[in-house]
Amino acid sequence: MTVRAAVAGASGYAGGEVLRLLLGHPDVEIGALTGHSNAGQRLGTLQPHLFPLADRELAATSAEALAGHDVVFLALPHGQSAAVAEQLGPDVLVVDMGADFRLKDAADWTKFYGSEHAGTWPYGLPELPGARATLEGSKRIAVPGCYPTAVSLALFPAYAAGLVESEAVIVAASGTSGAGKAPKPHLLGSEVMGAMSPYGVGGVHRHTPEMIQNLSQAAGEPVTVSFTPTLAPMPRGILATCSARAKPGVDAATARAAYEKAFADEPFVRLLPEGQWPSTAAVHGSNAAQIQLAYDGTAGRLVVISAIDNLTKGTAGGALQSMNIALGLDETTGLSTIGVAP
């Protein structure tokens, strides 16, 4: 089977990463590539690492340009996906890497994104309990945010197994590509190089309700999340340090057994051997997530650390993994767990 795929937002970071992965997917032929301010440009000037596509010209993003494909990836700013998606037929698989269709609660959407809720699509984090069944055969996929991917993989086994109380504390560091390519003053090289800095502090980051949604679903009861993102001087990667109070009777051995069970058959999640800790460098460019946990007996808390590449497992790799499931392909096709080191 060969599927023809279009990418809207091909000039951006997420669009570039999905193209890098699609170029290695044996069942995909790359069709239309679209952009916005860069429409008319050659891709080679914008994504020089995508050598085989260097001479392709970007069309303006429109339903017409994206018509005639089996799969359309949307790598557009928040709020731009719905208008495009509704003009693509119901038989086209639309994979949205933006946030528009991730949340179930319309009030949460409006509170954190400030606009009207467009709807809810099957959620593209296959590792979450029950997620694969909703993705199989689906024609619409909402790819998770990068932080919610890292945090949900770290904590859902603890909530699904009833190991921890319902208040989670998370501090995560992200590479700068998470903020997209559009120029922003706080992302100038002189601001970022040699510094780590927090942002979105105090429960205001828009990924907070998405984490709450995923962890509450795993727990079967409401979970609260205190989330603090930080910006790290690296282009890619997320390291999420997550903790929650352990329930009575939980210790290092029971926690480890639950995580071993949860990830035993997962092709992209690696629970590291005891004593080894996740590192963003180890997952650079790969669709793998590294996880390690510890029981902190002094504080009575379970601490779980995850590392992903925000652009791969956190966006484009997760998108391809979910596409594979939706199309009935082997879930791992075109995806690697091999990182780039050093």
Catalytic site positions: 146
Segment 282 to 321, residues that bind ligand NDP, using CB under 6 A: 310-311, 314-315
Q: Which 238-277 residues touch ligand NDP, going by CB under 6 A?
A: none
Contacted by 231, from ligand X2W, ligand NDP, none: CB < 5 to 8 Å by type: ligand X2W
Collapsing DSSP to helix, strand or coil, 302 comes out as: strand
Residue 311's binding partner among ligand X2W, ligand NDP, none (Cβ under 5 to 8 angstroms by kind) is ligand NDP
Q: How far, rounded to the nearest angstrom, does the alpha carbon of residue 311 sit from its chain's CA centroid?
A: 7
Of 60 and 272, nearer to ligand NDP (C-beta) is: 60
293 binding partner (options ligand X2W, ligand NDP, none; Cβ < 5 to 8 Å by kind): none
Which member of 16, 122, 178, 318 binds ligand X2W (CB under 6 A)?
178
Spatial CA neighbour of 210 closest among 142, 304, 159, 269:
142
Candidate ranges 49-57, 115-123, 172-180, 322-330; the one touching ligand NDP (CB under 6 A): 172-180
Query: Which stretches of the chain are assigned E, i.e. beta strand?
Result: 3-8, 28-35, 59-60, 71-74, 93-96, 140-142, 164-174, 197-198, 224-231, 238-246, 269-271, 289-296, 301-308
Local structure of residue 57 (DSSP, 8 states): B
DSSP string, 159-207: HHTT-EEEEEEEEEEE-GGGG-SS--GGGSHHHHTT--EE-STTTT-TT
Identity of the residue, 171 or 294, whose beta carbon is nearer to ligand X2W in the bound complex: 171
Rounded to a whole number of angstroms, the minimum distance from the CB of residue 205 to ligand X2W is 6
Residue 203 in contact with residue 163, Cβ under 8 Å? no
Helix (H, G, I), strand (E, B) or coil at 93: strand
Shortest Å, Cβ 311 to ligand NDP: 5
Q: Report the distance separating Cα 110 and Cα 33, nearest Å.
A: 31
Tokens, residue 63: 């339903």
- Choosing from 85, 146, 215, 269, the residue that interacts with ligand X2W (CB under 6 A) is 146
Give the residue nearest to ligand X2W (CB): 178
229 binds, among ligand NDP, ligand X2W, none (CB under 5 to 8 A by kind): ligand X2W
* Binding-site ranges for ligand NDP (CB under 6 A): 9, 11-15, 35-38, 61, 75-78, 80, 97-99, 145-146, 177-178, 180-182, 310-311, 314-315
* Binding-site ranges for ligand X2W (CB under 6 A): 98-99, 145-146, 174, 178-179, 229, 231
